[in-house]
Structure 1
């Protein structure tokens, strides 16, 4: 997601069909002194490192997007745009694949320390997993109540919790990148071609902050050099310390006592944070890029209930909301003066995943028959009829984990995957027979994880529980307000109900959801055929073959009864007349993608 609130974790394919466009603000925009904007989101922030399996969640990455800069970003067309005010990247060679990254001179962190090769080198080490100790199983060191690492790894063990795999992304860059003479660039060489190389890398977290905290170094320049020396010399003892801090040091649920972890290089920096209430961002006075903010402070209030978010907007307590759409939300927003409302279909889809290992009730979904039995009870059409049709009369069941309904390849994939043959409708008789074939007694428990604060998910749970009971399954409530951090946590649940949200159009971005050890493979799922398909997809530039491979992924998931898709999210965005420049993107971070374009109106400025 860990992983994503009310619409979820990372998933993207090249088959998305999307529209709408807003130009970005020209460089030179100035902050309107005294202005503030308040947005609402449905889950609290809890990690400034969105690249760990724990921190990879929309609620975190919305904030991180505003506080960290990178080489590129998606606009709301959506098209990939390079941020040339931050740095540049160049494809030096295709065989072998070599990419040169360079940070612009003058780009700095909020503490005025330069952003440079040390930051990129540490980010490469983390995202590539090049130094990770082989065959290390981190699950036993995680807290099943939170999903966090709470027990120190064995001495000398290196583990960056980035979901790195050796066949995709930076996992294909196992050689230490070469640093430019000026110290602001690195050259990376891939062992194989990677089709989405342009999306694979960013500057990362502040290396000097990590080294100062992990190694006890006071001087930031010395700290950066310690990072470079450790990586270039393959000093596993030092790298292990850096990895441990990288994994956990940026997790916090209120204003941290050590504010160095707030160090930013984006338009904003975190200035206040009250647990479970709000987080406030202040314009970063040391930001030198083109995305200069116009609003001085942005506060994100955590409002888990959609109707409460609507009320807050109507009362003027917040200025922009993107709550989970429900009929009550739509009815409440209609006719409200001073508020602009837009509706659409988002890039998030609801689904259920089953745990292949590390489940709360060990072995409950060990067999194919057990998984098929449970999935046959999921009342997908009833969920849509009751909860989605009132918002979108054209809504249909989504039958692909890869393709968006209506996109090129969707119909063919659905026809060939076998999902309609197996799961076109609820079949209690077959579900009962399959449960018995799996040797599971009537009343076998399935602990379902979902967001307890989400009314729609609560309704879905009740419908699923009632239907599954008819086939002899007892579905228990494992919901939690902290559901995101629990995704993938060993022993926490047996099945999960949440949403995947697209973050890019990269064709290879689907792999981490289903390949062995992928960062978004939260189910401990492993299939050699799937891994081979993903590996080929990662290196294939032929679009026809890409389409064939994506369809293969759908087919394998159905054959393995990995889980089941339910519906595409209806989406609603509403904002007050105190702000202009809002035009949500279908990709994460949706409303926040152009935060630098948010412009306070005269009403806002006069009140400021």
Structure 2
């Protein structure tokens, strides 16, 4: 873990913006000399190469490795999947059952010289489908510690001849996953040949087709932890790239160094070297000494940056929702106790202080407190789903909180809130909640640490996690809200509070296959009625992101989703 040496405040001079930039944040002079390396700072740790595990999904892996491990699509600035034909093509085939033909680019090869193959797709499906289980204390538990199986669980089978560039994916009858283009996207495809080498098995396809429990268990063991990253102890032989960049090194002093992948078959990266600086670097010093040229962080999370000379700065609402994720056991095991906590959280005040831009829009992202967990604020049915709250939880209501405590047979309640520190904004959110809840007999404790793991919610280490969507510390979210839905679906790793409701599971499953407005409206309203009663989470507002770009930079395009601004880092150019 990188040392957290920095204390920063929220007084950066912002060039406020409420929409995604359509062009580059900074222009450059063609007559200036191009700089061969660019520094890119994010607000999350990078602890694994595998963004698909539970731990990887809440880390900065998606923000760091989008152009190291690309897929058939990437998440574009509007939040929807965009085809990446350098990797291959995906085409829907005619028929009553959703069937998709995937064809990898014939030139596609990993940086270690091993060709990409449909085995990589089979590995992704095997890991994320939830299909393969093991017995743990008499219960069937998934072998793979995947964060979200929505969409992949709807796949019936994949026809793939091991080593081939072609695969045909057959979905289950009645399970035409509407967001299928997001599957097998950037950071989802991991190098299957590394898994089979390290696990000591023949190939993934044979193991899956045969249901070989022993082989699959070995594959899962490596997939779960074999790609973990520790600065200063990185084995690049297990980290081959299929993108324009590959990992060269990773250390606390020098950051995560990405260099041009010599085997990349697409357009050569415009800059040969990108250094990704995870959470914990001293932004103030590094901005001043010109070692960081692009910053993408939650507004205020790094504290006071000052006013970087010549930097173009934007502050925009993202697709990630800042929220409290609540345990469904322990002190918050009773839904009435969770309602009590929700009643005393000053959600409107928190939005006004930490989620509102200077020129906030009247509707859509960043327009106000977020009142739906399953529908995006810019979706057609959001206003109806959000109306279910009826402003019951808009402001701190001490009397309502006391009434709910009484319903839980409690006189008082203690809620330990965890988050990754230091984070000045989240610290202030907890402080505001503490002050608002105290009159109701609810004690809020700040349980943040500089090594906080959201999984401690399940182990009883904390009672609530303050985070973005699906427990993410940094960038998050898509237009389809697939991560948010997965975080409330029982059995998913991203469901940090282990919330379970059979009807919510049914609703989420139906939302994912029926895109009609009538279905989305009726199902989302029904869901929010349940969720505002059982309160597994307390949504606050669309997380604000601050993107700062040095003078002389070009082609930096803000992406307020889980892909983050680094989604097109291979096009960045810096001239001085």
With structure 2 as the length reference, what TM-score do the two structures score? 0.85
Q: Distance in 1 between matches of 2:227 and 2:138?
A: 22
Give, in whole Å, the separation in 2 of the partners of 1:71 and 1:404. 24
**Partner-residue secondary structure (3-state), 1:193:** coil
> What is residue 161 of structure 1 aligned with on the other side?
145
The 1:388–1:195 alpha-carbon spacing in structure 2 relative to 1, beyond 3 Å, is: closer
Distance 1:62 1:327, change over 3 A: closer
In the alignment, does 2:273 pair up with 1:297?
A: yes
> Counterparts of 2:435 and 2:129 in 1: how far apart (Å)?
44
Contact 1:99 1:188 in 2 (8 A): yes
Per-residue CA shift, 1:585-608, capped at 9, x if unaligned? 22222211111210121x2xxxxx
Partner of 1:173: 155
Match of 1:434 in 2: 404
C-alpha separation between the residues in 2 aligned to 1:131 and 1:303?
35
Q: How does 1:248-287 map to 2 (within 5 A)?
A: 248-275=225-252, 278-287=255-264
| Uncovered stretches (5+) of structure 1, i.e. residues with no partner | 1-16, 24-31, 139-153, 216-222, 604-608
Gaps of 5+ in 2: 1-17, 25-32, 362-366, 470-474
Distance, in Å, in 2 between the alignment partners of 1:405 and 1:164 is 22
Residue 380 of structure 1 pairs with residue 347 of structure 2: yes
| 1:224-279 deviation per Cα after TM superposition (whole angstroms, max 9, x unaligned) | x4323222222110110001110111112214353222211111111121148721
Instruction: Say if 2:515 is the partner of 1:515.
Output: no
Q: SS of the counterpart of 2:164?
A: coil
Q: Which moved more, 1:33-42 or 1:578-587?
A: 33-42
What's the counterpart of residue 14 of structure 2? none
Contact map agreement 2:416 2:446 (CA 8 A) in 1: yes
Work out whether residues 196 and 507 of structure 1, in 8 Å CA contact, stay in contact via their aligned partners in 2. no
Instruction: Give the drift of 1:378.
Output: 0.8
Check whether the contact 1:68–1:264 (CA below 8 A) recurs between aligned residues: yes
Residues 236, 249 of structure 2: 8 Å contact kept: no
**Aligned with 1:460 (options 414, 424, 429):** 429
Q: Distance in 2 between matches of 1:49 and 1:488?
A: 22
CA contact (8 A) 1:304 1:454 kept: no
Q: Give a deviation string over 1:185-209, Cα, whole Å, max 9, x none.
A: 1212111322222222246211111
| Partner-residue secondary structure (3-state), 2:380 | coil
Aligned to 2:417: 448
Counterparts of 2:299 and 2:410, CA distance in 1: 38
3-state SS of paired residue (2:57):
coil
Of residues 294, 300, 322, the one that matches 1:320 is 294
| Counterpart contact for 2:301–2:426, Cα < 8 Å | no
Question: Of 181, 204, 211, which residue of structure 2 is paired with 1:198?
Answer: 181
Separation in 1 of the partners of 2:122 and 2:335?
43
Render the CA deviation track for 1:338-365: whole Å, top value 9, x for unaligned.
32222322222211121113xxxx2x11
**Partner Cα separation in structure 2 for residue 42 and residue 371 of structure 1:** 29
Counterpart-to-counterpart distance in 2, 1:406 and 1:121: 34
Query: Partner of 2:465 in structure 1?
Result: 496
Distance in 2 (CA, whole Å) between partners of 1:242 and 1:211 is: 7
Matches within 5 A, 1:168-567: 168-175=150-157, 177-180=158-161, 183-191=164-172, 192-202=175-185, 204-215=189-200, 225-275=202-252, 278-290=255-267, 292-304=268-280, 308-326=282-300, 332-333=306-307, 336-357=308-329, 362=330, 364-388=331-355, 396-405=368-377, 407-415=379-387, 417-420=388-391, 422-442=392-412, 444-486=413-455, 488-500=457-469, 502-506=476-480, 510-567=484-541
Match 2:553 to one of 579, 589, 599: 579
Q: How does 1:94-173 map to 2 (within 5 A)?
A: 94-133=95-134, 159-163=143-147, 168-173=150-155
Q: Deviations over 1:567-587 (max 9, x none)?
A: 223332111124211121222
Compare 507-516 and 367-376 and name the one that shifted more. 507-516
- Contact 2:418/2:448, CA 8 A, preserved across alignment: yes
Which residue of the partner structure matches residue 10 of structure 1?
none
Aligned length: 537
Partners of 2:177 and 2:348 in 1: CA distance: 39
Inter-CA distance 34–412: structure 2 relative to 1 (3 Å threshold): closer
Indicate how the Cα distance of structure 1 residues 472 and 289 shifts in structure 2: closer, same or farther if over 3 A, else same.
Answer: same
- The CA deviation string for residues 516-559 of structure 1, in whole angstroms up to 9 with x for no partner, is 11342211111111111112112213233223323333222112
Pair 1:487–1:252, CA change in 2 (3 A): same
Give the conservation status (yes or no) of the 8 Å contact 1:195–1:541. yes
Q: 1:510 to 1:567 in 2, by over 3 A?
A: closer
